[in-house]
Amino acid sequence: MFEKVLIANRGEIALRIHRACREMGIRTVAVHSTADDNAMHVRLADESVCIGPPPARDSYLNIPAILSAAAITGADAIHPGLGFLAESADFAAMVEEHGFTFIGPSAEHIRLMGDKVTAKRAAVALGIPVVPGSAGGVADAAAAAEAAAQIGYPVLVKAAGGGGGRGMRVARNLEELEIAVPQAQGEAKAFFGNGEVYLERYLGKPRHIEVQILADGQGGVIHLGERDCSLQRKHQKILEETPSPALNVAERQQLLTTATDAMRKLGYKSAGTIEFLYQDGAFFFIEMNTRLQVEHPISEMVSGIDIVREQIRIADGAPLGYRQEEVRLAGHAIECRINAENPETFAPSPGCVSSYHVPGGLGVRVDSALYQGYTVPPQYDSLVAKLVVHGTSRNECLMRLRRALEEYVIGGIETTIPLHQRLVAAADFINGDYDIHWLERFLTRR
């Protein structure tokens, strides 16, 4: 097993990885920017290395600085966490070329899934249902028009290099398509340096449901159930839950076995998530995330399996510690993403945390790098805490979540806790009756 792991990240996820390492007897190296001198991930790590100034491109995205930090501290492996370099195939390859182990999938699988056109082609080959659409990219509006005539309107123009909704345009007819294609190409080129776009039938009211996979690259593949991530605003997830209130037993089984079988066929290794849109009883592959995800704790809460520990064991060459028959998914779990933002305008609210009280008790988990007296820097993501609650039933989980939200005190900065309190009191949410557009409509009410 590794003796020392460098964690190439910050905040709550760096802490999460540190905790898994500690429990495994692995020493940790934190890296940090000068904005994070006093960060909790630096304080808890066995060693730390400053890798640059506050802008992420000069520090948390600075590959030479990170590799140098690993070399001088004698780390065996590098965990990229999420965001930053976690889905950079080039980084994964360079880590290995420099003699360290990358705690994640192969650079080839990261690259395959990073391009949405090649990912979709792979999904088809693996027997995963995809949204009907163009066969690969479309070169221009004329080619798009031909594809759209086959698919039927409305269609969605998507960026091959994309994700997160950038370079996406809905077209309801030919006239709109002729505008949408060059617009999407321009935006895609500007954001991803890749102007390639493709077409899909536009689903008007889907849910976003994803499957958590763990695979050892030796034939061992398990799922840890699905997560419903439909509650989002501007492509930022706000609250996630498992199991999805939308699926019946047969649909769930079909979804989970399809995803698991596909990853076995692919020879995938590490943790991964397959994202689907679900509408009118059918599910369609949209993307695969080849990394640990923010919302992984809800899958841990219902399965009792430490996903980060399994990632580390797998990277070390060990077979999966579990067979599917040994995985028991019990009860219900919900995660509230708590951001340092105004709960109505979503304006960032960095600053000093003047008072801090964390909820606890049965079934309550808080993943956060906050502490009283800490100053949330303005340079990074506004996620400051994840409140994760488990209950034997969805109703018990909701009752516990309301109680935990009441207990949580984060003083001195604005947070989205009041938004979550409104959300858990909303009838549609209580009934599990929501799609990917529900939250944005809810936010315009009142």
Rounded to a whole number of angstroms, the minimum distance from the CB of residue 420 to ligand MV4 is 18
Instruction: Point out which span in 196-204, 257-265, 389-397, 420-428 binds ligand MV4 (CB under 6 A).
Output: 196-204
Using CB under 6 A as the binding rule, whether residue 87 contacts ligand MV4 is answered as no
**Which one, 286 or 333, has the nearer CB to ligand MV4?**
286
Helices (DSSP H) in 275-388: which residue ranges? Answer: 296-303, 307-315
Residue 287 CB, nearest distance to ligand MV4 (Å)? 5
Strands 27-33 and 4-7: parallel
Dihedral (CA of 286, 291, 295, 301) sign: positive
**Near ligand MV4 by CB under 6 A: residue from 13, 45, 122, 286:** 286
Residue 282 φ/ψ, nearest 5 degrees: -120, 145
Instruction: Decide if 166 is catalytic.
Output: no
Per-residue string for binding with ligand MV4, 219-248, x by CB under 6 A?
-------------x--x-------------
Q: Does 287 participate in binding ligand MV4 (rule CB under 6 A)?
A: yes
Residues with Cβ within 8 Å of 344's Cβ and at least 6 positions away in sequence, in order, are: 419
Residue 441 burial by Cβ neighbours in a 10 Å radius (0-12, 13-18, 19+): exposed
CA atoms of 305 and 299, how far apart (whole Å): 8
Applying CB under 6 A, does 332 fall inside the site for ligand MV4?
Answer: no
Smallest gap from residue 412 Cβ to ligand MV4 (A) = 32
Name the H helices within 115-173.
116-125, 141-151
d(CA 361, CA 366) in angstroms, rounded, equals: 11
**CB proximity list for 177: less than 8 A, separation 6 or greater:** 141, 144, 145, 148, 155, 157, 171
Residue 165 near ligand MV4 by CB under 6 A: yes
- Of 172 and 235, nearer to ligand MV4 (C-beta) is 235
Provide, rounded to whole angstroms, the least separation between the CB of residue 156 and ligand MV4. Answer: 5
Q: Which of 291, 313, 337, 365 is the catalytic position?
A: 291
Q: Shortest CA distance to 286 belongs to which of 163, 166, 151? A: 163
Residue from 200, 306, 310, 414 in contact with ligand MV4 (CB under 6 A): 200
Applying CB under 6 A, which part among 49-57, 82-90, 187-195, 200-208 lies near ligand MV4?
A: 200-208
Question: Where does residue 231 rank: exposed (0-12), middle (13-18), buried (19+ CB within 10 A)?
Answer: buried
Instruction: Read off the DSSP letter of residue 133.
Output: B
Backbone angles phi, psi at 142, to 5 degrees: -65, -45
Residues in the chain: 446
Interacting stretch for ligand MV4, rule CB under 6 A, among 44-52, 197-205, 340-348, 423-431? 197-205
The residue range among 201-209, 255-263, 355-363, 365-373 that interacts with ligand MV4, by the rule CB under 6 A, is 201-209
Determine, following the binding rule CB under 6 A, whether residue 436 of this chain makes contact with ligand MV4: yes
Q: Per-residue string for binding with ligand MV4, 19-58, x by CB under 6 A?
A: ----------------------------------------
Residues within the interface to ligand MV4 (CB under 6 A): 131, 156, 163, 165, 168, 200-203, 206, 208, 232, 235, 277, 286-287, 436
Q: Which residues carry out catalysis?
A: 291
